[in-house]
Amino acid sequence: MRLGVTKRDGTAPKISVTAATTRVRLYQESDVASVDLRGIGVAKKLAIFETGQHDAIAWTGLDELAALPALTNLTLCVDEGTDLSPLGHAAMLAHLSLYVHGRTTWSASWLGRLRTLESLSLSFAGGKPLVDLGELPPSVRSLSLSGVGNAVLDVPPFESFNATDCDALRALEVDGSKLAYLHVMQCRALERLDVLHVGASLENVHLTGLDALRELDLPRLASGGALKRFTLVNHGVASVDVTPLMGLASLVHVSIDGKNAPFFDRSCAIKSPALRALNDAGRLEPQ
């Protein structure tokens, strides 16, 4: 069965699926304008469907894609007119990444029906809609957001949370009881970052491009005792006290910059036996 793929120049590349197909990746094709998935139901073993481009694509037949019994991984770039609600019927979907174009409003109550969903990535371009994290199913362990319009986000317990290019975001509160990875990048209006209930699972904190951030509770971030990597670069924090890092036996990398950043060298007081690198204002000191 041949998929109805049409490029913006009017050409139609030959992309086919059969009953034996387990993966479809459109990475080899660029400038795709539309994809018609009607008939894809023949691919009963299809587990992975991915598009590589980040430009908008118009989709038809998402209901047939969602009905595939083996589908676990789905990556789509969608235009503002595509109805995504049929995806809520994907019974085995575990990993979903959506690149959404042109939408100023976003309603995704259908996400709550994805009871097997483990990781979700939502990236918005050409519009900054508000997202409601209360719509997510409890099975989600990893969440990545980019380009959302929320000024305030209250993040429930996840193992991994990533916020990137959220220009409107001013306050972020994260439940850290299950958190292992926290990445907040290029959120330049962010003034307040609170990570509550930090547990022994928090290993990686990466904070960059936070121009408006003036204070950071590093003792709380380090309180779980498991921190391995800590990055604070391009920020507004006036003074960084690294004392909370000094007793962390698992620490392998620290990167902090800023006018008043501490200078790290071979005599640094951080005594972690696992420490491999300290970085200050772009200078790397191997240990």
| 13 band by pLDDT with thresholds 50, 70 and 90 | confident
Q: Which of the four pLDDT bands, split at 50, 70 and 90, describes residue 183?
A: very high
Distance CA 120, CA 114 (A): 11
Read off the DSSP letter of residue 247. T
Residue 252 has pLDDT above 50, yes or no: yes
Over pLDDT 70: what percentage of the chain? 90
Predicted confidence (pLDDT) at residue 191 exceeds the cutoff of 90: yes
- 221 in helix, strand or coil? helix
**In this predicted model, what pLDDT tens digit does every residue of 76-105 receive, in sequence order?**
999 988 899 999 999 999 999 999 998 888
- Please indicate, yes or no, whether the overall pTM of this predicted structure exceeds 0.85: yes
> What residue type is assigned to position 271 of the chain?
K
Contacts of 285 (CB under 8 A, 6+ apart): 264, 265, 266, 268, 277, 278, 279
- The pLDDT value recorded for residue 279 is 63
Q: Is the dihedral of CA 74, 79, 80, 86 positive or negative?
A: negative
Residue 243: the pLDDT is 79
Q: Which domains does the chain have, with CATH numbers?
A: 1-140 (3.80.10.10)
Two tokens at 209? 């491009």
Helices assigned H by DSSP within the chain: 62-66, 218-222
Residue 262 pLDDT > 70: no
CA angle 116/122/123 to nearest 5° reads: 160
